[in-house]
Homo-oligomer: A and B are copies of this chain.
Amino acid sequence: MSQESTDRPDGDLRETGMSLRHDREWDYELDRITDAVAERDATSVGLQFPEGLKRRGPGVADDLRELLPDGVNVLISGQPCYGACDLDTFLMKRTDVFVHFGHSPMKESEKIIYVPLFSNVEVTPIVERAMEEELASPDEDPDVGLVTTAQHMNKFDDMRAYLEERGYEVHTRRGDERLTHEGQVLGCNYASAEVDADQVLYVGGGKFHPLGLAMEYPDKHVVIADPVNNVVTVADTETFMKQRYASVHKAMDADTWGVIFCTKIGQGRWEEAEEIVENN
């Protein structure tokens, strides 16, 4: 999903994540990893980072090596990683302890350690701006849904408290069993936004999650409060939908169709791919 903006000068990096207003620091929970290694007498540890944090991998591995006994190998996954479901099973099979950074737990396994990497960025300033700029005031409409991503779950109570103190009734829920936390959205799951409120506040970076959310609930007003880039916007599905329809329209002339299946365990849907082939 991508949304183009035409009213910005070239070189404006807002919302691109390329020039962050806040430096982020992460807690890699190295103690938890070294404990697990000691407990299991492990001789190898695999590390998997999401795309945005891959560059930090070698540094984390170095820090970890200093804490681990000699003879324990640390291996870093080089495979692309987009989500908690996207485990590098190749590396997992070949290491005694497998650490998946940056996402909240999804699969149960004794071998896997999930290190969620909560951002240290403050969220109340951007929630305040969202209130002033895009949310209906509590007098107009006190009901607001609240969702965020794994990185900002540690500040979820702050967000809620801030809104409640200003007179909002905050509606949240835990989506389903794939979701670890109340109010958490995944790229594949927006059930936590199915609340009794016409406006939903998404606190977090990126367009992927809020656009997905807005498409699933087209009647809701989805306000994006990005605490990292310090930007407040409204999820606008129109541009994205136009691009999608343009693609569909272009494809109408085709005589032959291909169905592309992704081989990753958590990101491919073999049965659905087969069903599409069978029904067409």
Contacts and interface: CB of A to CB of B under 8 A. Distances in A.
Contacts of A62: 256
A188 interface: no
Given A73-B277, A277-B73, A263 B58 contact: no
Interface residues of A, number: 14
B73 A263 contact: no
A58 B90 contact: no
A58 B256 contact: yes
B258 A58 contact: yes
A79 B263 contact: yes
Nearest to A57: B258
A78 interface: yes
A90 B263 contact: yes
Contact of A78 (B90, B260, B277): B260
Interface of A: 58, 62, 73, 78-79, 90, 94, 256, 258, 260, 263, 270, 274, 277
A-B pairs with lowest CB-CB distance, top 9:
A90-B263, A73-B277, A78-B260, A58-B256, A58-B258, A62-B256, A79-B263, A94-B270, A73-B274
